[in-house]
Amino acid sequence: MRSHYENFPVASRLLPAAMRAHIAAVYAFARVADDLADEGALPSEERRARLDAWQRRLHTALGVERAAEPQHDHEDLIIVATAHTIRSLDLPVALFDDLISAFGQDTMTSRYASWADLFDYCRRSANPVGRLVLRIAGVRDDRIDRLSDALCTALQLTNFWQDFGRDWRAGRLYVPREVQAAAGVTTDDVPKAPLSAAWTGALARCVDVTSEQFARGRGVCDGVRGRLRYELRLTWLGGMRILAKVDRGRRDLLDYRPTLGARDVPVILWHALTWGSRY
């Protein structure tokens, strides 16, 4: 399944403890949903049914006072914590519904025809995460929301290209068909290491589009205050650095998964300290 929450600031010590508790609740809810969608041994219909049941439990918890009820298992604790976070911070439950919708799509869809289709998926799988973090931080601003959407979409796309080989072996491919066609990828050009010139060309286009999203989303790092500003800067810089590694290693992405290592930390910290300069 997708690593939706690889960059989710669930445990960052940069954030206030009160924020971390609420973010942890949201993260736990989303992780369970992700796991339900990824129970690969089960038919997609059953996985979808389990996701729907998880969604209904949240809606039920929001509508019923459960404080006096005994909590029976780990999942109940997660539902109660998530419902408490939603109620106490007045979070839009529609954002949680969007996440469930995206996870449900993961059980049925393994190919995308166009950027429009892929962006719609990111709108529901990634963008709600950023908006929820902003709401937890007390930020309610349409312009900041749009900047956050661009950053979250960029991070999701980066994860797609980062996991190109892993996804292909699992039967998934996120490079849109329209990009493949424009790059000259044919139905006979099955990805194999090293990737062909057509495939590396398609991935180059994917990197370009993702870079555009990072550029559009950079402003969210300056549009918030306090510790979240620095958390988002580090997230933006880390995502950009992984994308650069993806670009450099395009031919080998079938067997190579770019990640951040110890050597990247000083570079990221330096760019965070000199944030006003061009990256």
Query: Which pLDDT score, from 0 to 100, does residue 12 have?
Result: 60
Give the torsion sign (CA, 153, 3, 264, 205). Answer: negative
Q: Can you tell me whether residue 229 is helix, strand or coil?
A: helix
Q: What is the pLDDT of residues 11-31, one digit of tens each?
A: 465 677 778 899 999 999 999
DSSP structure class, residue 71: P
Neighbours of 191 (CB within 10 A): 18
Query: Which pLDDT score, from 0 to 100, does residue 1 have?
Result: 43
Q: What is the pLDDT of residues 157-185, one digit of tens each?
A: 999 999 999 999 989 999 999 999 999 99
pLDDT score of 2 more than 80: no
Domain boundaries, the chain: 10-108, 113-279
Band (pLDDT 50/70/90 cuts) for residue 88 is very high
Q: What span, in angstroms and rounded, lies between the C-alpha atoms of 155 and 143?
A: 19
Band (pLDDT 50/70/90 cuts) for residue 10 is very low
Q: Can you tell me whether residue 243 is helix, strand or coil?
A: helix
221-226: Cβ within 8 A, 24+ apart: 221/151, 221/275, 223/139, 223/141, 223/143, 223/144, 223/147, 224/134, 224/137, 224/139, 224/144, 226/16, 226/137
Band (pLDDT 50/70/90 cuts) for residue 7 is very low
pLDDT score of 73 more than 60: no
* Neighbouring residues of 33: CB distance < 8 A, sequence distance ≥ 6: 51, 54, 55, 99, 100, 103
Q: What is the pLDDT of residues 98-145, one digit of tens each?
A: 999 999 999 999 999 999 999 999 999 999 999 999 999 999 999 999
Which uninterrupted H or E stretch holds 42?
none
pLDDT score of 92 more than 80: yes
Q: Which residue has the tokens 């980066």?
A: 158
Quote the pTM value.
0.91
Greatest mean pLDDT among 18-32, 149-163, 263-277 lies in: 149-163
The CATH class, in words, for 113-279 is mainly alpha
